[in-house]
Structure 1
Amino acid sequence: MCRPTAPRRGYDYRALIMKLSYQLVEQSWPLAKEFRISRGAKTQANVLLLALSDGEHVAWGESVPYARYGETLTSVSQQIERIMPLLSSQTSGEQLNQMMPAGAARNLVDCALWDLRAKKANASVATLLGLTPASTVITAQTLSIDTKERMAAEARTIGNAQLIKIKLDEHDIIEKMEQIHLAAPQSQFIIDANEAWSFETLIQVLPALAKLNVALIEQPLPSNNDTDLATLSSPIPICADESCHVSADLAKLKGKYQAINIKLDKAGGLTEAVKLMQAATEQGFIIMTGCMVGTSLAMAPAYLLSGASSFVDLDGPLLIAKDRDNGFTFADGQMQPHSSAFWGGENNQTNVELARLFTS
C-alpha cells in the first residue's frame, strides 16, 4: 500500500483554472526489496500523481522524478504548479512540448492530458495516436546489484524468464554474468551499467559477454564521455539510455549506439516518446521501451510503444511490494494489459482510486 505524503504548505491542489481542476499528490510505494544500481540503492518508489477533471471527465498520470537529471519531488511539483494556470483541456501535446522542457514534470502533465482526451473522445489513446500496442509482451525482469551468489539465486527464481535485465557496476562483471547464466541458461540478458564502466572495461568484457546470451548492453559509459563508442565494433548492440532523452538527441547518437531506451520521464511525455520512436525507427535504431521504478500507472502510457519495440522493460510494478489495483498482471515475464478503465481506455469509466481523489 502506498503512503501519500502531506501536501506542502502554500499549494492549492484543487485550484480551478480554465475549467481544469487538478490534484497533485506525492506518493511513496515500498519496494518488495532493496533495489540497487551503480549509483545507489532505494527501498521505496517516490512518485507524483496528477489527477485532472474538466467537470465531466476525470483523468490521471504518474511520473518519477529522477535525481540523475537534477529532479526532485519538489522541483517537479513546482514546475507543474507554474504551468497549470496556462493549460486547458484543449492543450495539445505539441503545445505542451513548447511550453515545458523534457522531464518528469512534462511527462506527468502530458500523460494525464492524454487520458483526459481519450475519455472526452470515447476513444483509446492508442487509437488517437494511431498506435498498435502488443496484446501481451515479454518484459525484462530486473536483478539489482548484489553478490554473484545472490544474483544467481535470484536469477534461478525467475529461471523461466525469457528476458532478464542485470544491473552491474564495474566490479566482477564476468564472474557475475557467468553465475547468472548458469542459473538461467535459457534466458536472454540485458546488462545495464548505468554509466559505470570505462571504455577499457567495455572492450575487455565484450568477448566473454557475447558468449553468455547477452542481447543488449545499456549505457556502459558516462553520457558525457561516450565518444569512444564511435570506434567500437561490438558483437552486442550498445543501447543509449542516459544519452538519449528526446528525438533531437538522435543525431549525436548515430555511429555510437545501435539502440535507444525510450523512457517517458526522460522524453517528457508520450507525445515526445512517440516522435522519438518514429524518428529512431526511421534511422535504423533498435527500440527499447523502459521505465523508472513506478506503478502500473506510469507503465500504461509507455506500454503503447510496445508494438514497435524489440525490447520491453516495464517491470516497475514487479519491483513494488503492492501495485495499484487494476494494473498490469505478470506471469513468467509475460505482461498482460491493464483494464480499459485504468488509463487511456476507450470508455468513460473512472477508476475507483482516481474518482476518490475528487470526492474525498
Structure 2
Amino acid sequence: MGQSLAYRVERHALAAPFRISGYVFEASDLVVVELTDGTHRGRGEGGGVYYLGDEAPQMIEQLEANRVAIEACESREELRQILPPGGARNAVDCAMWELEASRQNVPAYKLAGFDALKPLVTTFTLGADEPEIMAEGARNYVGARAIKIKLTGSLELDVARVRAVREARPDVWIGVDANQGYGIQDLNALIQAMDRLKVSLIEQPLRRGAEADLDRFNSAIPLAADESALSLDDVAGLVGRFQVVNIKLDKCGGLTEALLIAKEARRLGLGVMVGNMVGTSLAMAPAFILGQLCEIVDLDGPTFLKEDRVPGVEYGDGRIWCPDEVWGTPSTVFAA
C-alpha cells in the first residue's frame, strides 16, 4: 500500500544559547515528514546529526532524491535499505510507525510490543558555562532526580563545573558528557575526579575513531558511547571499550533500528541509554517508547525550546510522560 510524502523545515528557537564541547546552539532546524494514504496519516520529526553534516538541507535532499522509493515503500525494514541512518530516515521511519498505528487502530507502542507505557525518570541537561551559573541551573531544576552536565575538555574547569553542581544538588544522579572533548592521556585524571564527585556515567570522552584507545582500559565509572555508536553496525565494536550505548533515533535512523540496537546491545552485555538531539515532543514520543527498555533516559530536548508543540510530553517529579495524543495513536485518522 503506497503513501504520499510531504515534508517541511521548521526552525525552533532555543530559550537560551546551549554550549557543548566545540559548539554553541541557538536554534534547531527540524524536518517534519508526513505520510498519507488518503485516509490515514503518519508524522515524524528529524533533527539530523550536526557533527556528521546531517542537517536540514541534506535531509531534504535525501528525501527528494528517494521520493519515489519512499512513496512505494511497504515496510519499515524496506526503508532501512532505501535511506541511510540519519535524520531523514528517522523522520520517515517514525511517520511509518504512526501511519501503521492509524491503519491498525492501535497505539504505536503496541506495535512495538508494549501493552502499556510507564513514566520514566529523565536527565535534565546543563550546558557548559561558568561553574556558579551551572550550579544555579541545577538548583532551578527543582524536581530533577538526574542531571547531565556538558563538559568542554578543559579538565580543571570541567571539574570545577561538576563540583559546583554536586554541591548545589547532593541528592541527584549525575552523568557527564564530554562530546569527544578528551584524549586518552587525560582520561584517567577525568575519571578519578568524577569518581570523587560521585558521577555515575561518563559519556563519549574520546573522539569518534579513537575507540581502540579504550582496549584494556579499566574505568571506575561506566563509559557510554554516543558519537562512537551511530547505528546497528557500530554496536559490536563497543564491547570491551564501553559499558553503555546511547541510542538516538536521529543517529540510527528511527525507532525501527533503535529497537534492534537495544536488543543487540543487551545480547552483548551492554547497558542501554536513550538520548535525543534538541527536538520537539514529536521527536520525544517515539524515543519514549524506546526508553521503556533503557536504564538511562535523556529525553529533555523540548525543555530547551522557547516553544514546544501542543499537545506535548509532560515533565514532572523528575520524570517524562508522553500522553497518547502526542504521537502514534489512532486519533490521527483523518475525518471522513
TM bin, normalised by shorter chain, reads: over 0.9
Counterpart of 1:96? Answer: 79
TM-score by length of 1: 0.89
Query: What SS is found at the alignment partner of 1:341?
Result: helix
Query: What SS is found at the alignment partner of 2:101?
Result: helix
Distance 1:234 1:133 in 2: 36
1:95-118 Cα distance to aligned partner (Å, 9 max, x none): 111111111111111110111000
| From 322, 327, 350, the counterpart of 2:307 | 322
Distance 2:184 2:136 in 1: 30
Counterpart of 1:130? Answer: 113
Matched, 1:298 2:288: no
Matched, 1:147 2:130: yes
Counterpart of 2:54? Answer: 71
Matched, 1:225 2:210: yes
1:169-220 Cα distance to aligned partner (Å, 9 max, x none): 1121211111110001101111000000111221112122112221111000
Greater shift in the superposed pair: 176-185 or 20-29: 20-29
Shift of 1:21: 2.5
Query: What SS is found at the alignment partner of 2:6?
Result: strand
Matched, 1:341 2:325: yes
Distance 1:89 1:324 in 2: 30
Shift of 1:159: 4.4
Amino acid at match of 1:342: V
Q: Which runs of 5+ in 1 are unaligned?
A: 1-17
Counterpart of 1:61? Answer: 44
Query: What SS is found at the alignment partner of 2:48?
Result: coil
Answer yes or no: is the 8 Å Cα contact 2:272–2:294 preserved in 1: yes
Query: What SS is found at the alignment partner of 2:29?
Result: strand
Percent identical among aligned pairs is 36
Distance 2:108 2:129 in 1: 39
Counterpart of 2:152? Answer: 169
Report the CA distance shift for 1:160/1:320 in structure 2 as closer, same or farther (over 3 A).
Answer: same
Report the CA distance shift for 1:147/1:132 in structure 2 as closer, same or farther (over 3 A).
Answer: farther
Distance 2:72 2:288 in 1: 23
Answer yes or no: is the 8 Å Cα contact 1:89–1:113 preserved in 2: no
Distance 2:325 2:173 in 1: 34
| From 243, 246, 251, the counterpart of 2:228 | 243
- Root mean square deviation of aligned Cα: 1.7
Counterpart of 2:188? Answer: 203
Answer yes or no: is the 8 Å Cα contact 1:296–1:328 preserved in 2: yes
Report the CA distance shift for 1:132/1:243 in structure 2 as closer, same or farther (over 3 A).
Answer: farther
Q: Which runs of 5+ in 2 are unaligned?
A: none
Counterpart of 2:70? Answer: 87
Shift of 1:281: 0.9
Amino acid at match of 1:143: L
TM-score by length of 2: 0.95
Counterpart of 1:25? Answer: 8
Distance 1:321 1:336 in 2: 20
Query: What SS is found at the alignment partner of 1:276?
Result: helix
Answer yes or no: is the 8 Å Cα contact 1:142–1:164 preserved in 2: yes
Amino acid at match of 1:56: T
Amino acid at match of 2:26: T
Amino acid at match of 1:161: A
Report the CA distance shift for 1:183/1:133 in structure 2 as closer, same or farther (over 3 A).
Answer: farther
Greater shift in the superposed pair: 21-30 or 308-317: 21-30
Counterpart of 1:310? Answer: 295
Query: What SS is found at the alignment partner of 1:223?
Result: coil
Report the CA distance shift for 1:132/1:176 in structure 2 as closer, same or farther (over 3 A).
Answer: farther
Counterpart of 2:260? Answer: 275
Counterpart of 2:249? Answer: 264
| From 90, 96, 111, the counterpart of 1:107 | 90
Distance 2:220 2:306 in 1: 37
How many residue pairs end up in the alignment? Answer: 333
| From 135, 140, 145, the counterpart of 1:157 | 140
Answer yes or no: is the 8 Å Cα contact 1:159–1:184 preserved in 2: no
1:324-343 Cα distance to aligned partner (Å, 9 max, x none): 001101124211223x2321
Answer yes or no: is the 8 Å Cα contact 2:40–2:332 preserved in 1: no
Query: What SS is found at the alignment partner of 2:200?
Result: strand
Matched, 1:253 2:238: yes
Distance 1:332 1:124 in 2: 25
Counterpart of 1:14? Answer: none
